[in-house]
């Protein structure tokens, strides 16, 4: 480890570190891929009452025109109200309304595009008792 410490003291490494710091500092002016941060109903959860909507919070703001949620029942039929939209106040929140759902397991499939045009997708299930 003494070798590493010695190298870390060199001007070369200081320059590399500075470059890295510049890269990281640029984060404040950039965006990134949108990943699912959390959802309601929660991913993989079981709820006792039919939820009125599915809400998904992402790690980045979304492009509304290219972001969607589809909720399917166990037979693969879409059951949501097809009114998916990005929340007016929180551009990282995507939501879709649901009718009264009977007991069963439902799959939520989402496709989104973040504001820097990166595409991501995913799916999860929740169960209504």
Partner 1 sequence: MKSRKRKLAVLKNGRGRLAASSAVFAVVGLGAAAAHAHGFVGDRFFPPTIATDDPFATDELLFPSVSYFKSADSPPIGTTDIGFEFDKEIFPKFALGISGDWLNLAQAGQPSASGWDDFSLSAKYQLWENVPHEAIFSVGAEWDIGGSGSKEVGADPTSTFTPTIYFGKGFGDLPNALEYARPFALTGTLGEDLPTSAEPNNLEWGLALEYSLPYLQSQVKDIGLPAPFKDMIPLVEFSFTSPENRDGGETTGTINPGVLYEGEYFQIGAEAIVPVNNASGHDVGAIVQLQIYIDDIWPKVFGYPILGK
Sites of contact with partner 1 (CB under 8 A): 1, 3-4, 7, 13, 16, 19-20, 23-24, 26-27, 30-33, 35-39, 42-45, 59-60, 116-118, 120-125
Distance of alpha carbon 96 from alpha carbon 101, whole angstroms = 14
106 within 8 A of 79, measured Cβ to Cβ:
yes
Q: How far is the CB of 48 from partner 1 (least distance, A)?
A: 17
Q: How far apart are CA 58 and CA 34, in angstroms?
A: 6
Question: 79 vs 115, which CB is nearer to partner 1?
Answer: 115
Q: Report the residue number, 38 or 81, with the smaller CB distance to partner 1.
A: 38
Residue among 120, 96, 99, 90 nearest 108 (CA):
96
Assigned token pair, 29: 């002016």
Bond prior to 41 in cis (omega within 30° of 0): yes
Residue closer to partner 1 by CB (options 40, 90) is: 40
Nearer to partner 1 by C-beta: 20 or 52?
A: 20
Smallest separation (angstroms) from partner 1 to the CB of 104: 14
CB of 74 to partner 1, least distance (A): 11
């Amino acid at each position: 480890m003494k070798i590493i410490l010695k190298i870390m003291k060199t001007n070369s490494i200081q320059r590399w570190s500075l470059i890295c710091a510049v890269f990281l500092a640029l984060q404040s002016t950039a965006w990134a891929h949108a990943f699912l941060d959390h959802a309601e109903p929660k991913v993989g959860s079981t709820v006792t009452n039919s939820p009125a909507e599915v809400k998904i919070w992402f790690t980045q703001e979304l492009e509304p025109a290219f972001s969607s949620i589809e909720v399917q029942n166990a037979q693969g039929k879409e059951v949501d109200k097809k009114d998916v939209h990005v929340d007016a106040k929180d551009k990282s929140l995507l939501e879709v309304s649901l009718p009264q759902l009977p007991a069963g397991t439902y799959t939520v499939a989402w496709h989104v595009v973040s504001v820097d045009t990166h595409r991501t997708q995913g799916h999860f299930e929740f169960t209504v008792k």
